[in-house]
Each structure stands twice: as structure tokens, then as C-alpha cells.
Amino acid sequence: MSKQINKEEGLSYTRKVWIAGLIFALITVILLIFEATFNIVMLVLAGALIACYFRGISAFLKRRYHLNGKLSMAISVFGSFLIFGGMMYLVGATIWSQTVSLKESLPELTESLKNFLEESDVGKDVLAWANEIKSSKEFSNFISTFFLTTFGSIANIYIIILTGIFLTIAPRLYVNGITELVPPPHRQRAKEVLNNLGTSLTKWLAGKFIAMLAVFILTAIGLLIFDVKHWLTLSILAGLLNFIPNFGPLISAIPALLVGLSQDLNLAIIIGVMYLAIQLFESSFITPKAQYHLIRIPPALIILAQIFVGALTGLLGVIFATPLMLIIIILVQELYITPMNKKYEVSRNQN
């Protein structure tokens, strides 16, 4: 009898070892597939945001002016392209000339900054630190991976645009396809979660565009007041890069500071203070007002997501880390926290 029990315990232990090994192998395979395909996930997310943009405008026109769904969608798509084309026709030449001029003057601006830093001991330390980082092998590998993994080919941009068009034209087709993978009793709940994701992304995108427009206008007014060269290009750059939390405003301030430094040191200081004030105003007033219906994502969590996703997919991951975190938080809330709280309420009422 004891021999049979020992034999069963041995088989049970062997089975547990095999199960643990298989689970570990499965997790390893999933992580490898996740790393290999995560860039595709970010491309699909970018396409989904394009679809949210077009469908958000279409829903607004349909709700406000009681238009037909197809007509509002056509106005949304073609109107956006017409507005963009008209803006490029009106100010495209100015933007292009300022961009070319700014690009040609960058070496001179960089040299001016270098000369300015060499005048102080702190500046020399900053230059030494920057040269050390620039010459490091890790930095070179990071930069090359950072950009090549994202926009290394035109195919990525093509995928984003094509995905956005398909999701804009027939979103229900893809929503129904996803819900079909869910067991029948939970399909209605799956549709509700997907609709919540689409609504939240649309509202987030609308709030982001409002913040970007506000940053562009405030920056343009400030640069015009202080008569800064290339004001239009610098303002557009500040507005566009405001889409990227944390890193975007910092990157957009660098060329503005260089231009200001080439004109006058005091002007550079004024520009730095102005950019800082605009970002504080945007982050503490404009964005909270524009996105007050949405879930607030902790800033530290956004930075960690940008670093993690950026390491996997490059620049595309840094740009779209925030909507990705929004999706994850909504899924966790809808699929885990809400059912858990409901079960707790039911059990407490029964007791």
C-alpha cells in the first residue's frame, strides 16, 4: 500500500515538473511573439486613432446638424483633406522657406551654443557629458534602433493609413469579428467594452488636438511678440510635438532656444520661460478641461510606458504609449476591477 502511495506521489511530482516546464516554455514563446509583433500592434493602434479622428468628426456633424451617416463621414474625410490642403496652399511656402532656413542655420546655432557653454565651468562639464554620451556605443545603438525600428520604410506609413481607412469605412465588421471570438454569453459585454474603448480614444484624441492647437496659438503669439525668427515653423513644431507627452515639449523647445540664443541671450531665456509657462498652463488647465471625462493616467506611468514601449518599437512606441496605456487601464477596469467590485457587493449584501 505504501509503495503504491509513493509511486503516485512520484508520478504527481513528475507531472507537476512537466506542467511547470510547459508553462514556462509557453510564457517564453508568448513573450518572443509579443516582442516580434509589438511593432505591428503599434501600427494598428496608429491606424485606429486615424479612424477615431474621422469617425469622431462624423459623429459630431451627425449629432449637431442631423446629417446622414454616409454624408457626415464623407464630409469628415474629404473636408479634413481639403482643410489640410488649403492650409498648405496658404502658408506652405512660408513654412517650407522657414524650415529650410532653420535647417541651414542649425550648424551655426549649435556652434553658438557650444561657444556659450565653453565660457563657464558648468557649461564645459555639460559639453563633456554630452560628448561622452554621444560617443558611447550604447547611445549609438539606441538611436539607430530607435528610428530604424519605427520608420525604416514607407511600408509602415502605408499600413497606418490603410488601416485607418479600413477601420473608418467599416468599423462594425472588425468589432463583430472580435466579438465572435468571445463565448456567446459574453458577446454583448465584449461589444460594450469595445465601444467604450472607441469612445474613450476618440475623446482622448479630441482633447489632445485641443491642447495641441492651444499650444500652437500661444507659442505663435509669444514668438511674434518677441520677434523671434522662424516663428511659424517653431510654433507648428511645438503644437505637433505636444502630441508626445513629456519628451515632445522638450524636443520642440531646443530649436527655439537655439534661435533665441543666436539673436540674444536674454531672448533665449525669455523663450525658455515662455515655453515652460505654456506647458504648465497646458498640463494644468487645458488638458484637464479637455479630457475631464476620461481616466487620468499618472504621469510617472506614462513615462514608464514610453520607455518600455519605445525600447520595443522605437519612436512609434514613444508617440503612442499614452493611448496604449489608456486602452490597458480601461480593459483592466472593465474586465477585472468592475466584476470584482460587483461580486464583492453581491457577497456583502447576501451576508
Cell of 185: 454569453
pLDDT of residue 237: 92
Task: Give me the chain's average pLDDT, please.
Answer: 80
Given a contact cutoff of 8 angstroms between Cβ atoms, the answer to whether 43 and 156 are in contact is yes
pLDDT of residue 150: 45
CA 311 to chain centre: 14
65 Cβ contact partners less than 8 Å away, ≥ 6 residues apart: 72
23-37 mean pLDDT = 72
Confidence of residue 234 (pLDDT cuts 50, 70, 90): very high
3-state helix, strand, coil in the chain (%, to 5): 90, 0, 10
Residue 275 has pLDDT above 60, yes or no: yes
- The phi and psi torsions of 294 (rounded to 5 degrees) equal -90, 165
Cα–Cα distance, 184 to 248 (Å, whole number): 44
341-347 mean pLDDT = 83
Confidence of residue 277 (pLDDT cuts 50, 70, 90): very high
Summarize pLDDT for 300-314 with one digit per residue, the tens.
888 888 888 877 777
List b or e across 168-201, with b for residues whose CB sees 16 or more CB atoms inside 10 angstroms: beebeeebeeebeeeeeeeeeebbebbeebbbbb
> pTM for this one?
0.78
Residue 106 has pLDDT above 80, yes or no: no
Summarize pLDDT for 171-230 with one digit per residue, the tens.
888 888 889 888 888 889 889 999 989 988 998 998 899 999 999 999 999 999 999 988
Summarize pLDDT for 134-143 with one digit per residue, the tens.
555 555 555 4
